Structure 1
Amino acid sequence: MKERLWVVGMLVATHVTQAQQLDSLIKEYELQEVVVSASRLQRELHTVSVPIQTINAEDILRAGYLRLQDALQEQTGLQLVYDHGVGLQMQGLDADYTLIMIDGEPLIGRTAGTFDLSRLNITDIKRIEIMRGPSSAVYGSEALAGVINIITEEEEALPWRLSGMARYGSRNTSNFQLKATTTSTKLSTSWSANYYGSAGYDFTPETYGQTAPPFMNYTLRGGVAYDLSPAWRVHTRVRLYEDFVKDAYESFGERFDGKGYVADKNVYTAVEWTPTGRAFWQFRNYFTTYHTSASYWQKDSGEETDHSFFRQLYWRPELFAKYDLAQEHTLSGGVGTNREQVSATRYEGTRRLYNLYAYAQHEWSRGRWHMHTGARFDHHSIYAGQLSPKWGIRYNQDRWSLRASVGRGYKAPDFRQLYLNFTNNAAGYTVLGTEEVRQGMERLLAQGLIAEILLPPSQVASLKPERSWALNVGGEWRPLQKMKVDVNLFRNMLQDMIDTQPVARRNNGQFVYSYRNLQEVITQGVELNVTYKLSTYWRLSAGYQYLDAFEPSVKERIRAGEIYKRDAQTLVSRRVKPEEYGGLFNRSRHSANLKVFYTHPRWEATMRLIYRGRYGWGDANGNLILDDKSEYVDAYVLCNMSFMYHLRRYTLQAGIDNATDFRNEAFVPALAPRTFWFAFQFDITNHKK
């Protein structure tokens, strides 16, 4: 019944508004803001038919954000997940399904599927673009939930500019930033360097080691662009990130020390040709590597107990073209290939994948109407070809607008799900990728380690890509001159979701696991943003998301009376009631934010409250679903504040993150305690021609 009501609600809601622009952009000129993530073309935000929002450099500076997760956690409907680093959950879909990019090029290096957002410094960028809904029609795999695109390119009109920042906070947390840009008639350059480090923190001082160990990292970034002629332009960008961690832990009375290292390197080069005012050609070449290593040794003896590494290479050349057929029509498209290579401690040898792709788009605009149609075809070396279409439309009026988009997304099986060959000797279990099951099982059988085969290796099916259909409907409404209301309704229908399955039982009672495709997962809900300018200096914004994420097959089994739960006190079993099913784990049904901004020519201040409703942490009663009060993490509220004072070219800033000192050591250990910080910034420019 709820599903039927949802469909009716989606149809009725086409007159309401869409919430995807940043709440701080309630300015008179906001409709002229330019974005590129929606179609790889520069487009004014009010012509884009997909849900997209931006966080610009002024917003980042005002709030004192340092890393990417700092900015994203305060946006409506975006949830941080702490699993193998800080990942991002969008519209109820896991961190695996959101593509993270810099200037339109993908970043690699996912640990257990999660891209760690703490790797990305954002203190020297132009803006962040957040696009929700499947974007596989443009960007391919991993863009099933949406795209986060960090824009670093800047077109400076000044001969040179030098800016920097020094920041210090609690627990010896420091950040130093320096950026320089130069611009001449034909040549422009941009360079930046960032250092970030902390002594970490510890919620359990009675044990050896810290909850968050000390670390230091740096990011170097550079870019050069040169106009060979009015028609030809070449530019290149390079980025280097390195991170060093000191770790320690205690196990069964023994103490261990360790160190970790992460390196992320990117090189991008493009040649652009504009033969006429209507045509544009670009050849781009992108190469990136990601490397991690970790070593642990016994503290007293110094004997090494574990060493692991992970190396990934990614290369993508692409040819892109755009042509304006007429004032109302634009065609664009591209062809390219992805080449990937991975070697790791847990993989047998070096594994390679490749993908060939082609995509095309058509954009049409006439008066108040804007429409976008696109499709992409991918041919992968492992799985069958994939076609990903997308369509969107927008209609603008003076005080309101409507938009709707529908798209198909996909996510290819990763190296872990295909080639992993790992045995945890301490816990006694084994995980084999689907391409390694046959050889891995033969080896375990030859060693006499298998007690029972649950699924013959020949019956382990090859993995299919995960697919989804998604619908976003909404718009924008200005009931008052100083007020804006945004609403977005979404529904994602995910098919062939990849999950683990036991294929054999070892002699020690533990299992051998591999992977399989599940039938269907649905996430649906509504996102609401309201902004109101109280006066010349005061501005208020509020956001809310309702999320319903579930497996239809589980609901059907509950209705049929096939799923039971056991009372922890009486040990009596009974059938699970439909209203007890809480949906997918680690999803908050309700989340919200409230932000207050004070902006004065000299003084600026912000206060931001972030609410996350309760969510399931795991199965406690053994029936593999979320259905009991003991399986939930309690709701919580975070409070962040910042204060700024401007002195011509200089700015003084102070802030408090997690002002209420909220802590949940058991379920949210990666959330740092209260942090005080102070910063000094300068911006020097040469205005002479």
Structure 2
Amino acid sequence: MRTLIFVFALSFLSADVFAQQYVKGTVRSGELPLAGVSVRIGNSGPAAKTDTLGAYFLPAGAAGQQVIQFSAVGYRRQRLPIELKSGDTLLLDIRMETEAGTLNDVVVSGTLKPVRKQDSPVSVEVYDARFFAKNPAATIFDALQHVNGIRPQLNCNVCNTGDIHMNGLEGPYTMVLIDGMPIVSGLSTVYGLSGIPASLIDRVEVVKGPASSLYGSEAVGGLINVITKSALNTPSFTADAFGTGWGEYNADLGAKLNLGESASVLTGLNYFNFSNRIDRNDDGFTDMTLQQRLSVFQKWDFRRAENRKFSLAGRYLYEDRWGGQTGWTRDLRGGNTLYAESIYTKRWEVFGTYQLPLPERMFLAFSYNDHNQNSVYGTDLFTASQRIGFGQLTWDKKLGINDLLFGAALRYTVYDDNTPATPHADRVLLPGIFAQDELALGTAHKLLLGVRYDHHSAHGNIFTPRMAYKWNVTENDILRLNAGTGFRVVNLFTEDHAALSGAREVIVAEALRPERSYNVNLNYVKKLVLGNSNQLNIDFSGWYTYFNNRITADYDTNPTQIRYANLDGFGVTRGLSLNFDLTLAGGLNAIVGGSLLDVRNVERNAAGERESVRPVKSESWMATWAISYDFKQMGMRIDYTGSVIGPMRLALLGELDQRSPYSKAWSIQNIQATKKLKGNVELYGGIKNLLNWTISKGQPGGTAIARAFDPFDRSVRFDDNGQVIPVSNVSPSDPAYNPQGLKFDPDGYSYGPNQGIRGFLGLRLFVR
């Protein structure tokens, strides 16, 4: 009997003391589930991580008062008191807020590995979708206009094509990646940037300075890595559409489909249309290119054992754009009745990353793209095609204090066009191998050593080492020193629109050799905590880059030609950059930056003396800002964004050309109000280009296009050498009157937009 009483008492005690308690729930940021969040009871109790749906489940230990904490890189840590009853399961759903500033963002572009920004030995700037929403744009090209040190450069006053300048260097020195894949290059450097919908962007990472030791050719001035949204943690449906007072209409639609527990699919559709023939400066030409663009994007993210990565994406782009004399119609395409530049673009691409099913962390990245171009510039027809295949295998290995990365890459490019410079298709095979070692030298120091070897099928062996050192001076002070080399192989007809337009004759003076660059960059980051939830991040950089064999476009020797040659000397770019990121608990956020830029080419003049010349369209300074204030009780936000660009040298058409050889400082400023409505809907609107600045203002004749009234040079007189003969002995009303010796030129004096002030209104919504 006593035995039965003992067993009964023990079972009762067990039920009371050893009953298990659990906590479960979901973690979100806004309305999006957060995967990989660490959830822990107390400081050393049971722990778990959220799955791809943001869900977690963990035992909580004994009943009673406990503390549960949630932590994730880039988000504010949360510690919450909970009370657990014996045998119960507590349901707890939370939302996490992002950290003030960007020091805790996860970046991959600097080292090809995911790492917190503050832990990366390479300085990486991060801009997320919230930053780009401060000034909505239809494309990534336009969205980058308020990033310090980066300037989208319009290279043509007629067709509005352009490239992205970084730290004063021309667009071909900037490598643009999508999800780490080098698929935006060559032809698409000029024409494909407008086809990346801003709504698909999760974040953009920017690395300034040569990155050829990891990414190979083209990453000479720096790189921009456009990272698209993951299908695993996006809403089920999103829509974003806006229109402007000029008649521009942009619509972005996104839909996610979960295929059971195995995969999620994200499909995006972007459509842009502008069909108004607007000529505010009365030069007879459209102020803005008419465009119709369709882009379809799909990305598959697969769930695999042990959280191994597998994503596959594809995109198709079709664009029809034209600019020119306002009376032009398509039946006149390629003729000499009215002048226009008409461009048809067809492009498709596929890219992905697959983590091999091995004990070691090995990844296979791959991409393929096919780009076809059919363009006319007045009467000149330009057709071109480019196909690029790329594959890269990397092995990520940690050994003690060594964080190693080994890789092998193969890139194959086929390019062909109808110009005399390309008598047959150009085929380039570019295999390469690389290795880097990131050494943890104690808790405060990191040293990264990297090296890459490539073999170019036309230019032979290319060797690019680099070094990066990071010192955590204090918990809130970081110092970085980076040094490296870069190389670039040029293709004029895919990089320089002016070489295609027909306004100038293209002269390639010699067999062009690859460029080499040597760079050193010093970066200092300071974090200041200004009381509760107030923070100021200061980011300062100084750099110096030296170029050998720099390939230059000479607009000055002969105003009717562009002469390309390797520089008989050297090139130098140097500068200082300062960024402030202020976040206040009251709702104010301000991102303000400025850069001083000095870009020079040094070569011998006709007298044999060394002469320093600033390249055309290279600004001497710039500043940007994005200032926001949240009226939280009203559910409203005001965004004030802008940039101011310093003077830059411009290409004149001879000694008699009376236009200024330098531009004046100019500024584009915008303001926007966003109102949150019920049902996950946002209404936004505002004014773009508040100052109504255009490139045509202050120009002779009110236009930046030289002799816009005579686009086929019918009234221009030339001598036997093809040089323009100045004519002043006729009536100024005579089309032949040409005292400055000019000819039609839509490109040389292009440096900014010709689209004035306009209102805009848009709507966003998303469904979980």
Pair in the same fold by TM > 0.5: yes
* 1:114/1:491 CA distance change after superposition, 3 Å: farther
Which amino acid in structure 1 is aligned with residue 351 of structure 2? Answer: Y
Matched, 1:163 2:238: yes
Question: Alignment length, in residue pairs?
Answer: 596
Residues 213 and 466 in structure 2, CA contact (< 8 A), matched pair in contact too:
yes
Q: Give, in whole Å, the separation in 1 of the partners of 2:546 and 2:513.
A: 16
Deviation at 1:283, TM superposition (A): 2.1
Residues 55 and 128 in structure 1, CA contact (< 8 A), matched pair in contact too:
yes
Q: Give, in whole Å, the separation in 2 of the partners of 1:336 and 1:513.
A: 34
Query: Which residue in the other structure is 2:66 paired with?
Result: none
Structural mapping, 1:447-526, within 5 Å: 460=510, 462-481=511-530, 482-499=535-552, 515-526=565-576
Matched, 1:610 2:643: yes
Q: Give, in whole Å, the separation in 1 of the partners of 2:308 and 2:398.
A: 19
Structural mapping, 1:247-258, within 5 Å: 247-249=323-325, 254-256=337-339
* 1:223/1:80 CA distance change after superposition, 3 Å: closer
Q: Give, in whole Å, the separation in 2 of the partners of 1:609 and 1:588.
A: 16
Query: Which residue in the other structure is 1:585 paired with?
Result: 616
Q: Deviations over 1:364-408 (max 9, x none)?
A: 234222222211111011002111111111122222111110010
Q: Give, in whole Å, the separation in 2 of the partners of 1:267 and 1:619.
A: 42
Give 2:343's match in structure 1, choosing from 260, 265, 270: 260
Q: Secondary structure at the match of 2:618?
A: coil
* TM value normalised by structure 1: 0.79
Give 2:430's match in structure 1, choosing from 355, 371, 375: 355
Residues 417 and 515 in structure 1, CA contact (< 8 A), matched pair in contact too:
no
Deviation at 1:360, TM superposition (A): 0.9
Q: Secondary structure at the match of 2:213?
A: helix
* 1:495/1:537 CA distance change after superposition, 3 Å: same
* 1:66/1:325 CA distance change after superposition, 3 Å: same
Query: Which residue in the other structure is 2:471 paired with?
Result: 395
Matched, 1:119 2:192: no
Query: Which residue in the other structure is 1:672 paired with?
Result: 755
Query: Which residue in the other structure is 1:311 paired with?
Result: 385
Matched, 1:39 2:111: yes
Matched, 1:275 2:349: no
**RMSD of aligned alpha carbons:** 3.5
Query: Which residue in the other structure is 2:742 paired with?
Result: none
Q: Deviations over 1:30-63 (max 9, x none)?
A: 4331011112111110111222111111222233
Q: Give, in whole Å, the separation in 2 of the partners of 1:342 and 1:253.
A: 29
Query: Which residue in the other structure is 2:676 paired with?
Result: 646
Deviation at 1:241, TM superposition (A): 1.1
* 1:246/1:234 CA distance change after superposition, 3 Å: same
Q: Give, in whole Å, the separation in 1 of the partners of 2:527 and 2:562.
A: 57
Q: Give the stretch that moved more between structures: 266-275 or 510-519.
A: 510-519
Which amino acid in structure 2 is aligned with residue 81 of structure 1? Answer: Q
Q: Give, in whole Å, the separation in 2 of the partners of 1:161 and 1:285.
A: 27
Structural mapping, 1:203-222, within 5 Å: 203=279, 206=282, 208-222=284-298
Deviation at 1:464, TM superposition (A): 2.0
Q: Give, in whole Å, the separation in 1 of the partners of 2:546 and 2:178.
A: 28
* 1:553/1:253 CA distance change after superposition, 3 Å: closer
Residues 236 and 267 in structure 1, CA contact (< 8 A), matched pair in contact too:
yes
Structural mapping, 1:651-666, within 5 Å: 651-665=682-696, 666=704
Identical counterparts, % of pairs: 18
Q: Secondary structure at the match of 1:617?
A: coil
* 1:512/1:415 CA distance change after superposition, 3 Å: closer
Q: Deviations over 1:276-302 (max 9, x none)?
A: 3xx2112232110111112588xxxxx
Q: Give the stretch that moved more between structures: 375-384 or 208-217.
A: 208-217
* 1:367/1:186 CA distance change after superposition, 3 Å: farther
Q: Give, in whole Å, the separation in 2 of the partners of 1:663 and 1:92.
A: 21
Residues 171 and 201 in structure 1, CA contact (< 8 A), matched pair in contact too:
no
Q: Secondary structure at the match of 1:138?
A: helix
Which amino acid in structure 1 is aligned with residue 295 of structure 2? Answer: T
* TM value normalised by structure 2: 0.71
Deviation at 1:101, TM superposition (A): 0.9
Give 2:368's match in structure 1, choosing from 287, 292, 317: 287
* 1:120/1:157 CA distance change after superposition, 3 Å: closer
Q: Give, in whole Å, the separation in 2 of the partners of 1:289 and 1:395.
A: 44
* 1:246/1:486 CA distance change after superposition, 3 Å: closer
* 1:634/1:426 CA distance change after superposition, 3 Å: closer
Higher relative contact order (CA 8 A, sep 6+): 1
Query: Which residue in the other structure is 1:456 paired with?
Result: none
Give 2:627's match in structure 1, choosing from 596, 600, 610: 596
* 1:233/1:100 CA distance change after superposition, 3 Å: closer
Residues 134 and 143 in structure 1, CA contact (< 8 A), matched pair in contact too:
yes
Residues 51 and 472 in structure 1, CA contact (< 8 A), matched pair in contact too:
no
Query: Which residue in the other structure is 2:411 paired with?
Result: 338
Q: Give the stretch that moved more between structures: 255-264 or 652-661.
A: 255-264
Residues 287 and 754 in structure 2, CA contact (< 8 A), matched pair in contact too:
no
Segments of structure 2 that go 5 or more residues without pairing to the other structure are 1-73, 75-96, 329-334, 697-703, 705-749
Residues 26 and 531 in structure 1, CA contact (< 8 A), matched pair in contact too:
no
Q: Secondary structure at the match of 1:631?
A: coil
Q: Give, in whole Å, the separation in 2 of the partners of 1:248 and 1:307.
A: 15
